[in-house]
Structure 1
Amino acid sequence: MPTPEERAGGRATGTLGPLLASWLRSLRAANKSDQTCRTYVEGVAQLDEFLDSRDADDVTEVTRADVEDWIISLHGRKLSASTVNNRYRAAQQFFRWCLDEEEIGRSPMERTKAPIVPDQPVAVVREDAIRELFRSLNGKTFKDRRDAAAVRLFLDTGLRLSELAGLKVSDVDLDDRVVTVLGKGRRPRTVRYGAKTAVAMDRYHRARAKERTAALSGWWLAEKGRGAMTSDGIYQMIVRRSGAVGLDVHPHQLRHSWAHHFLAAGGSETDLMHNAGWRSRQMLNRYARSTAEERARESAGRLALGDRL
C-alpha cells in the first residue's frame, strides 16, 4: 500500500496534483494520523483522476458539476454508501484548505450535499460462532499463535483495525494485561484484556522471539521474515480464518460484536465509550443499535419487578 506521500506524488501532474503535496504537509502539521492522511489523499487523488477527462486545467476551474459527476461515477462503481461519503468528505476538506490558502475564491462544493449513508445495522457475531473461531486457532505454528492472539485481543478490547495493526512491542504490557494505542485524533488510551487472551499473547510473544525479524518494533510479524503485518494483512487474516469455519466475518463486524457482548454482559456505556475511544454518544448509539432490542428484552426479564415482590 503506497504512503500518502507516494500517492500525492503520483498525481503531481494532475489538475489538483500540484496542491496535493502541500495539503498533505498541512495535514501532517495538524498531527493527523496516517490513516486519516491516507483516506483524505486517496479521496482527492481519485477526484483528480476523474478530472483527467474533464476541461479543468487547474483547481480554479473545477466546477460543482465536476464534483457531482464524480460522486455519480463513484455510485456507478457500486462502492458502498459510506465509502462514497468518505470520498466526498475528503474532497470537501481539500477545497476548504484551498479556500483558506486563497488558491481558490469559492469552493466548487459550496451548497453540495453529502451522499446519504443508509442506516444499516451491522450483524453481530454470536458467542457460539466466536467459540468455533477460537477453536480453529488452537494450532501450535507461529501463524496459529499469532492469529489466535490477534483475534482474541480484537474481541477482548474492541480496538480499531488500524489500532490493532499499529501496536508496537513497547505498547504491550504482558504482566498488567494492557495495551496502549493511539486512537483517532491521536489520543492515547490504555485497554485491558482478559486472562485467556493473556495466555494467547504470551504464547505469541514466545513464538515471536524465535523469528528472525523479532527485532522489529511492530508487534505483529508476518511469517517467513516478511516484516511487520499491515492493516490489510490483518484484515485478510481475519476474513480467511473466519471463512475456514464457515463464517463471513470482517474486522469491523468484530468491533460491533465486542460492543454488543460488552453491554449484554452488564458493562456500562461509559466504560464502553472509554475502551472504544469514543468521545460522543453518537458512536455508542450506532454500535449498540443492531441488538439494542434484544438487550432490552433480556434486561426486562432479569429485572422484572414482579419477580422481586
Structure 2
Amino acid sequence: MPLLDLDTLTADVSHIWVGFLRDWDRSLRSANYPETTRYNYLLAAVQLARFLAEHSPDPDADAEDPTEITKAHVESFQAWMIETRSAATALNKHKGLQQFFKWLMLDEEEIDRSPMERVRQPRPPKKLIPVIPDDDTSRVLKTCKGKERHRP
C-alpha cells in the first residue's frame, strides 16, 4: 500500500488548496522525488491549510487560497507547531513549505514573493550528550596502561 494517498491526505482541505497540491505532487513525481519526501512536503502544506482554516491570524488575507498566504500565517503556524509538537517538527514543516511556496513562485508564477522569504527557521533546542566524568575516564585510562591485559 503506498504511503501517499493524496485524496485521503487532502480530504478536508479547500478545493483551491487541493488543486495546487495535486499539481505540485505531479511536479514532484515528474522530478522523481521519493514518495516519502513528497508525503512530507505535501503534509506540511495540508497541515498549514487545515491550521489556517481554523486559526487564520490575518483576516484580510484569504487563507483558503495558498496564493494569499502571508508571513503572519506561516509564523502563526510555526508557533503552533512548536507549542503542540516540537521545534524539530516545526523545522521539518518549514522546509516543506519553503519548497511549496518556491514552486508556486518560480514554477507556477502564481505569487511574486514567497511568504517564507523572511520567516526564520525554528531552532530546535540543542541536546546535550552525556560525557563520561573525568574520574571514570581516568580509571579507564589507568586500566589500559601497561603491557598486561586482563581477561575475565
The TM-score normalised by the length of structure 2 is 0.73
1:35 paired with 2:36, answer yes
Identity of aligned residues (%): 31
1:82-117 C-alpha deviation (Å, 9 max, x unpaired): 111111111111101111121211001111111111
Which residue identity does 2:95 align to in structure 1?
R
Aligned to 1:73: 80
Cα distance, 1:45 vs. partner?
0.3
Pick aligned residue for 1:102 from 84, 106, 109: 109
Distance 2:53 2:21 in 1: 15
Matches within 5 A, 1:160-171: none
* Map of 1:5 onto structure 2: 6
CA RMSD for the aligned pairs? Answer: 2.9
**Could you tell me which residue of structure 2 aligns to residue 307 of structure 1?**
146
Structure 2, gaps ≥5 residues long:
148-152
Deviations 1:223-281 (A, max 9, x none): xxxxxxxxxxxxxxxxxxxxxxxxxxxxxxxxxxxxxxxxxxxxxxxxxxxxxxxxxxx
Q: Which amino acid aligns with 2:114?
A: S
Q: Is the 8 A contact 1:67 1:109 kept in 2?
A: yes
How far apart are the structure 2 equivalents of 1:303 and 1:66? Answer: 60
| Map of 1:184 onto structure 2 | none
Correspondence for 1:64: 71
Determine if contact 2:3/2:35 at 8 Å carries over to the other structure. no
Q: Please give the residue correspondences for 1:1-309 in structure 2 after superposition, counting only pairs within 5 Å.
A: 3-10=4-11, 13-14=14-15, 16-53=17-54, 54=56, 55=59, 56=62, 57-77=64-84, 79-100=85-106, 101-120=108-127, 290=129, 293-294=131-132, 297=137, 301=141, 307=146
Distance in 1, Cα, partners of 2:110 & 2:9: 18
- Please give the secondary structure, in 2, of the residue aligned with 1:10: coil
Residue 50 of structure 1 deviates from its aligned partner by 1.6
Partners of 2:35 and 2:65 in 1: CA distance: 27
Using the size of structure 1 for normalisation, the TM-score is 0.38
What secondary structure does 1:52 align onto? helix
Ranked by relative contact order (alpha carbons within 8 Å, sequence separation 6 or more), the top structure is 2
Asked whether the 8 Å contact 1:15–1:52 carries over to 2, the reply is no
Q: How many Å separate the matches in 2 of 1:110 and 1:86? A: 16
Partner amino acid for 1:80?
S
One-letter amino acid matched to 1:104: I
Query: How many equivalent residue pairs?
Result: 135
**CA offsets per residue over residues 267-302 of structure 1, 9 Å max, x none?**
xxxxxxxxxxxxxxxxxxxxxxx36x44xx49x728
Aligned residue type for 2:48: L
Distance 1:302 1:22, change over 3 A: farther
Rounded to whole Å, the distance in 1 between the matches of 2:8 and 2:122 is 25
